[in-house]
Amino acid sequence: MKNKLFLPLALMLAISFAADLRADPLAQARARYAEGEYAQAAKLFEQSLDSSPPQAAVFFELGRCLRQTGQDARAALSFRRALVLDPRFAPARAALVATNTDLGLPKPGKNWRNQVLERIPMDALSLSGSALFWGSVFAITLLVFLCPHGAKGWLALAILCLAGSSGALVLAGICDPRITDRNMALVLRIGGSSLLSSPAEQSEQIAALPDGSMVTLLLQRGKWYYGQLPDGRQGWLLTEGIVPVIPPT
């Protein structure tokens, strides 16, 4: 009796598994990539990202597909997105450096913020900082009310923890790329774009922005953005072909 039930059940499971595999764009994308069909794989990776929560690994794989199809600027955007989701993802960082080199763009700068990002996961820092913060607050409260004249050592320790956790939360706030890169965008336009002195196409050009250039968007007025380059120069640029690093939700 058991055998009679087992066979159809196994068959149904196998069919449903195969159907899932067929329907899963991520699995299909990886299969296409393995077969060297990079353009098709890139489309499927994009479909997968549209239909499921963003993952650094998938953006990295999408970037590799786009590199294969010669779309270096879009690949750079994918690698940047992978790094926003996981700043410690070394292969994505290396791929971004190589892509920027091929695009003739400067390498991403090395600063203390990047050093922190490469070492500490931001969500873990925020979570542990928050837990320690509230723990310290409760400890101080209890010590103040229950032992107003004693346990000074414990009180000092709790205050130290409170200061440390507050520092951790501030660090997470100023380092997390999902906060700091909120206004970052890339130029994805064949022929690049131009940074102009005023929001008019005939105005003086401050800088040429090649395909794949980074710009910080400060405000939008109609079809114009007011933006700032990494070297500090500010000006106007057309919204066309400017893609935010963090996709709008």
Partner 1 sequence: MKPALPILAALFLAATSLCAQEIVAGLSSSRAQVGEPVQLVVTIRGARGADVPQTLAVDGLRINLAGRSTQFEMRNFKMSSSLTYTYMIVPQFEGEFTIPSFGITIEGKTYPTQAMRLAVSGSAIAPQIPSLPQNASPLPPGTAGSPQNNGRPFFGELVLAKKSAYAGEVVPIELRFYFNTRISGQVSERPIFSGEGFTVQKFSNAVKRDQVIGGTNYSVFSFQSAITPVKSGTLEIPAASLEARLKIPGKAPQGLDDFFSNLPLPQGMFAEDQDVKVESGAQKLEVTALPKDGRPEDFSGAVGKFTMEASVSPRKAAAGEPVTLRVTVSGQGNFEGMGAPALSDDEGWRTYPPSDKFQSADAIGFTGEKTFEFAIVARQDQSRTPGARLSYFDPSTGKYATLIQAPLPVDARAGAAAPPAAPQQAAAPADTPPPASAPTPDITAMSGGTSSWSALFFRKGFLAANAAIALAWLAVVIVFSVRRFSASPAGRNLARKKLARQAFVRLAGADPEVFYDEVIRFLSLRLNAPGDHASLSERIESSSFPEEIKASLLRSVERHAESKFAAGRVAAPSADERSCVLATLKDLRHEK
Taking the complex as a whole, the smallest distance from the CB of residue 92 to partner 1 amounts, in Å, to 8
Q: For the segment 163-222, give every residue that binds partner 1 (CB under 8 A).
A: 172-173, 176, 178-179
| Sheet-wide strand order for 184-187 | 205-209, 193-196, 234-238, 224-228, 214-221, 184-187, 242-244
Number of residues that bind partner 1 (CB under 8 A): 56
Q: What is the DSSP string of 19-63?
A: HHHHH-HHHHHHHHHHTT-HHHHHHHHHHHHHHS---HHHHHHHH
Nearer to partner 1, 2 or 110 (CB): 110
**Site for partner 1 (CB under 8 A): which residue of 2, 34, 109, 231?**
34
Rounded to an integer, what is the distance from CA 16 to the centroid of its chain? Answer: 34
DSSP state of 71: -
Taking the complex as a whole, the smallest distance from the CB of residue 183 to partner 1 amounts, in Å, to 13
Give residue 72's identity as a one-letter amino acid code.
D
Q: Of all helices (H) and strands (E), which one includes residue 142?
A: helix 122-146
- Stretch binding partner 1 (CB under 8 A), from 2-10, 14-22, 122-130, 209-217: 122-130
- Assess 45 for contact with partner 1 (CB under 8 A): no
Nearer to partner 1, 168 or 195 (CB): 168
Site map 131..150 versus partner 1, x via CB under 8 A: ---x--xx--xx--xx----
Spatial distance between the Cα atoms of 84 and 82, rounded to a whole number of angstroms:
6
**Site for partner 1 (CB under 8 A): which residue of 30, 161, 216, 239?**
30
- How many residues are recorded in the chain? 249
Q: For the segment 75-114, give every residue that binds partner 1 (CB under 8 A).
A: 82, 84-95, 97-98, 102
Q: Among candidates 182, 195, 192, which has minimal Cα distance to 226?
A: 195
Residues that bind partner 1 (CB under 8 A): 30-31, 33-36, 53-58, 60-61, 64, 67-68, 82, 84-95, 97-98, 102, 118-119, 121-123, 126-127, 130, 134, 137-138, 141-142, 145-146, 172-173, 176, 178-179, 246-247, 249
